[in-house]
């Protein structure tokens, strides 16, 4: 029996609170130590990938962020069940725009569950204000959706797609405070239309149990991910096709998340 199972299936509040306490006493220091250790190991890995393998700085930074996330997942696996992602269709056959529902700060960390690492995150401005985060995010070529102009975003997107990279958006913009998806913004869908690339919907559940918005401690959780078949812009017509595109993708994600939470898929 896993610690998550013991926590989830136990009605004794003392046992549940004890497990939460242990998780935060064990997992948080481990994550902190791995962060420090990762920073110390980073120069060696960077030089190897740059000099020996000839990778670009942008690619190296994204790969290192992905590796950091994989190690973070391993450290939490004592308390968190990470269900291997289930994939429908061939979502990563060609580069595209990834859209993910947003329930927790840890949603971004869970993107290491994907089989791809060359992903450009398009996020709001506040992470760019965190000194350490800012350095890595800028070197990785991430998009600041609140500061970059549309023209600048288009140039970045075209370069990424040319290099067979992906752009990832959380189209809700903010974390959902209840489990329902909030209104989608149109930027991800307009970008896909302008570049004639598919949107790849990704549904994730369980992160709100791990760390819900406005909560400052972790809880045992079971995290599941489903990668839906890509949706192509040529399926929609008209001057406002991005709206139909957006509604179609959101409906697919809502249905998938509903099925995930019922345990059907």
Phi, psi dihedrals of residue 247, rounded to the nearest 5°: -65, -40
Quickly state the pLDDT bin for 132 (edges 50, 70, 90). Answer: confident
The pLDDT-based confidence of 127 (bands split at 50, 70, 90) is confident
- pLDDT above 70 for 1: no
Question: Residue 265: its pLDDT value, please?
Answer: 75
d(CA 70, CA 98): 19
Q: What is the pLDDT of residue 20?
A: 96
> 255 pLDDT exceeds 80?
yes
Is 3-261 in CATH node 3.40.1130? Answer: yes
Cα 264 from Cα 40, distance rounded (Å): 43
Please report, rounded to a whole number, the percentage of residues in the chain having pLDDT higher than 70: 100
Give start and end residues of each alpha helix (H) in the chain: 3-8, 13-47, 57-76, 131-139, 150-162, 187-195, 207-210, 241-261
- 49-74: pLDDT as tens digits: 999 999 999 999 999 999 999 999 99
The answer on pLDDT for 228 being more than 70 is: yes
Domain definitions of the chain by residue range: 3-261
Comparing 192 with 94, the larger pLDDT belongs to 192
Model pLDDT, residue 161: 97
Question: Is the entire prediction scored with pTM above 0.75?
Answer: yes
Arithmetic mean of pLDDT, 147-152: 95
Average pLDDT along the chain: 94
> 227 near 91, Cβ under 8 Å?
yes
Q: What percentage of residues in the chain have a pLDDT greater than 90? A: 86
Q: Please tell me the predicted confidence (pLDDT) of residue 179.
A: 80
Least confident of 7-21, 124-138, 215-229: 124-138
């Amino acid at each position: 029996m896993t610690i998550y199972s013991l926590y989830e299936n136990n009605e004794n509040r003392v046992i549940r609170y004890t497990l939460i306490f242990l998780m935060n006493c064990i997992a948080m220091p481990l994550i902190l130590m791995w962060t420090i250790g990762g920073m110390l190991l980073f120069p060696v890995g960077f030089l190897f990938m740059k000099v020996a393998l000839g990778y670009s700085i942008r690619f190296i930074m994204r790969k290192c962020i992905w590796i950091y996330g994989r190690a973070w997942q391993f450290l939490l696996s004592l308390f968190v069940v990470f269900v291997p992602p289930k994939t429908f269709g061939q979502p990563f056959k060609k580069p595209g725009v990834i859209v993910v529902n947003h329930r927790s700060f840890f949603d971004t960390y869970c993107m290491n569950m994907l089989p791809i690492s060359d992903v450009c995150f398009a996020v709001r401005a506040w992470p760019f204000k965190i000194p350490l985060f800012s350095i890595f995010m800028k070197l990785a070529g991430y998009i600041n959706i609140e500061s970059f102009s549309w023209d600048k975003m288009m140039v970045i997107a075209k370069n990424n797609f040319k290099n067979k990279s992906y752009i990832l958006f959380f189209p809700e913009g903010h974390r959902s405070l209840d489990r329902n998806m909030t209104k989608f913004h149109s930027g991800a869908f307009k970008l896909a239309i302008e570049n004639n690339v598919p949107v790849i919907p990704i549904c994730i559940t369980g992160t709100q149990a791990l760390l819900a918005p406005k909560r400052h401690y972790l809880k045992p959780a079971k995290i599941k991910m489903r990668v839906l078949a890509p949706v192509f812009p040529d399926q929609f017509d008209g001057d406002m096709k991005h709206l139909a595109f957006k509604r179609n993708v959101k409906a697919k994600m809502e249905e998938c998340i509903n099925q995930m939470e019922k345990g059907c898929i």
